[in-house]
Amino acid sequence: MSTRADIRLQALVVVAGALLMAIKFIAWRITHSNTILSDALESIVNVVGGGFALYSLALAAKPSDREHPYGHGKVEFISAGVEGGLVALAGLVIIYRAITAWIAGPVLHDLDQGLVLTAAAGALNLAMGLLLKRRGQAKHSIAMQASGTHLLSDAWSTAAMLCGLLLIRITGLLWLDSLFALVFGGFIIVQGTRVVRRSVAGIMDETDMAVADDLVKLLDGQRHPAWIDLHNFRLITFGRRLHIDCHVTMPYYYTLEQAHAEITAIEGLINERSGREAESFIHMDPCVPASCPICLIADCPVRQRPFQGRVQWSLDRSLPNAKHDLSTLSSPA
């Protein structure tokens, strides 16, 4: 769940972003640099995107209710998608402005003052971007990560822009201003497209294979002898919350109470060790004679075949809807 500290941090970023935007537009008015204008235009996106991210964090913090049984976390994907789209749009505007300025002919003034103001704004963007991205990764918030990634891309583009302006200052080649603006515009479009791609993947319930792989390895490393195999494993991300569907094969002679205790142990392990809030729907399958060679229960009273080896659970083995058997033992994933 989103915390009040996350929301306060995002609010601070929005306020600071508005201040940075004002500084960059002042620098543009002083220098008439298209490169600095491109940086200032992206700052508008920073403020708008940051505001939407703030709203999404507040909404995602609301608990599940009857209309939203899986919570409100998916709004973070929408927020990231909107911000990514705005970033790409800003890149198109920057390219258009650079082309028109190139045709009209560049005119620069007071470049030194503009460099100082832009450098200060870029340094603050770098600090905020690093803070937001690290916080977002720690809290598994795609909205905060998208906002942090955006600020970092803005900071790196500002650094590259400053190098370009210094080159203009040294060489006197004013046409380089529009050229650098074109390059920055293209870079910004790429960054925005990547954010949109990730947000769409979340909305479409695309499995985060890295997270799924970590969960399967966690269960394999801590598994009980009664957990004979794990299959039909599916993972959906709802903001910071995980929804897990899977089948677990258990001894067919277990009582409902015994089987429920094992399922509860699996759910507890995921919630305690994964660092995420997880909701699990686990289907219990009864073991079959083909399960005996890989079953870890040493004193099984109904064993029909001798034990031959432990099957290491992997994501590739756990995704198909099929019980493990000797074939999975002999053919590593």
1-16 pLDDT per residue, tens: 446 777 888 788 888 8
Average of pLDDT values for 44-65?
77
Q: What is the pLDDT of residue 109?
A: 52
Average of pLDDT values for 51-56?
80
* Average pLDDT score, the chain: 81
Q: Which residue has the higher pLDDT, 72 or 247?
A: 247
Residue 285 has pLDDT above 80, yes or no: yes
User: How much of the chain, in percent, has pLDDT values that exceed 70?
Assistant: 89
Average of pLDDT values for 233-239?
83
Q: Which CATH class is domain 209-330?
A: alpha beta
Confidence of residue 330 (pLDDT cuts 50, 70, 90): low
Angle (CA) 195 199 201, round 5°: 120
Parts of the chain belonging to CATH 3.30.70.1350: 209-330
Query: What does each C-alpha distance from 197 to 48, 50, 85, 205 come to in angstroms?
Result: 19, 18, 10, 12
Residue 161 has pLDDT above 70, yes or no: no
Q: What is the pLDDT of residue 295?
A: 94
Residue 288 has pLDDT above 80, yes or no: yes
Q: Are 80 and 239 in contact (CB under 8 A)?
A: no
Choose the weakest-confidence range: 18-22, 145-149, 191-195, 264-268. Answer: 145-149
Q: Which residue has the higher pLDDT, 216 or 33?
A: 216
Burial environment of residue 5 by CB neighbours within 10 A (0 to 12, 13 to 18, 19 or more) = exposed
Q: What is the pLDDT of residue 157?
A: 67
Sequential DSSP letters for 218-287: HHHHT--TT--EEEEEEEEEETTEEEEEEEEEE-TT--HHHHHHHHHHHHHHHHHHSSSEEEEEEEEEE-
Residue 79 has pLDDT above 50, yes or no: yes
| Nearest alpha-carbon partner for 126 in 107, 103, 152 | 152
164-174 pLDDT per residue, tens: 677 777 777 76
Confidence of residue 193 (pLDDT cuts 50, 70, 90): confident
CA–CA separation, 27 vs 159, rounded Å?
A: 15
Q: Say whether 207 sits in a helix, a strand or coil.
A: coil
Residue 232 has pLDDT above 80, yes or no: yes
Residue 149 has pLDDT above 80, yes or no: no
Cα 311 to the chain's mean position, in Å? 32
Burial environment of residue 289 by CB neighbours within 10 A (0 to 12, 13 to 18, 19 or more) = exposed
CA–CA separation, 126 vs 175, rounded Å?
A: 28
Q: What is the pLDDT of residue 110?
A: 56
* pTM metric for this prediction: 0.64
Dig out the tokens for 144 from the structure: 């905060």
Residue 231 has pLDDT above 60, yes or no: yes
Q: Which residue has the higher pLDDT, 176 or 124?
A: 124
Q: Which CATH class is domain 4-203?
A: mainly alpha
Q: What is the pLDDT of residue 332?
A: 47
Residue 333 has pLDDT above 50, yes or no: no
Parts of the chain belonging to CATH 1.20.1510.10: 4-203
